[in-house]
Structure 1
Amino acid sequence: MTDAATAKQQSLHTLYRDHHSWLQNWLRRQLGNTWDAADLSQDTFIRVLTSSQTVAEIREPRAYLLTVGKRLLNTFYARRSLEQAYMDALQQLPQEVTPSPEQRWALLETLQALDELLDGLPLGVRRAFLWSQLEGVGYREIAARLEVSERTVKRYMAQAYEHCLLMEL
């Protein structure tokens, strides 16, 4: 191992040792349970490890960790909300067409991947894209639902397609 790699590893170890318990306790208070807090705490340090910013560049470690932790917490809540909406929708289905647990898992993973892919798009753009692609709704009806012009819907769709293409690169 080179001296630079050793120094990087040592600074990450110091950051983890000095701030892990604090971060995990903060996350536990936000989440109300230790297990999810432990997972998000580890995910936070993995983000730090894979970040383009070096640990030595972090001037305010707790503020930095808190920012990363809050972002992960928001993602966690969004995922949980999506899972709940999916489970609620499944309960509305007749028993004979309810997917198996394996199918549910695959569908939920797909929904989460789609949600992550569309993350960052304005709500109207997301809705237009999802109505068009998942429900087959035409631009005229989307325009009526969103109370915008068809031309705006076309711009929304172009924006969504461009976003998806750029995210795939």
Structure 2
Amino acid sequence: MTADSPASGSPTADTLLDRALVEEATKKSGLVWVRGQDVPSCALWHVWHEGAACVVGDGPGEQPLPGLADGGPAVVTVRSKDKGGRLVSWAANVVELAPGSPAWEAAVGELKGKRLNAPDGEEMPARWARECRVLRLEPTGSTLPLPDGDLAQAPVATPATTRQPIPAGVPRLLFGRRKRK
């Protein structure tokens, strides 16, 4: 048995590399795909704070957090910020932060700075405390294999149709021909 073996209690080199990959990739990506229990993956904006991805949602005007329950599992897939391809997937434990707790205050301080187009500005943390959930997605350990295939969901059935191209003569009818002088 070596000093780096799991039986000795210290992390292996592969585990440390996995942790570093998860942290760096998640920090740099502004968007992650998260799959909760029995629901498809959804895109969530987040911030990396104190070793976990923090998200806010489930309130009016905020992102939905389907299938993410306190103490439950989740799978996080991180995309490349520049190319959009999948970089790494990792398992997470979902921890809901209690409003007003020191951990909640610290996470909200980070999230507040990254929230774009907030309707209420400085009142946002109070609204989040009343109406939203703040979750920490804490990595459980090593990375997971990247999912195969397309993870996109089929569009919802609708009677709406795609607009057909306009006939070639319509612009001339609407705008007329320019008269030569």
More strand by share: 2
TM-score between both structures, scaled by the size of structure 1? 0.25
Richer in helix (by share): 1
- TM normalised by structure 2 equals 0.24
Determine which structure has more spread, i.e. the larger CA radius of gyration. 2
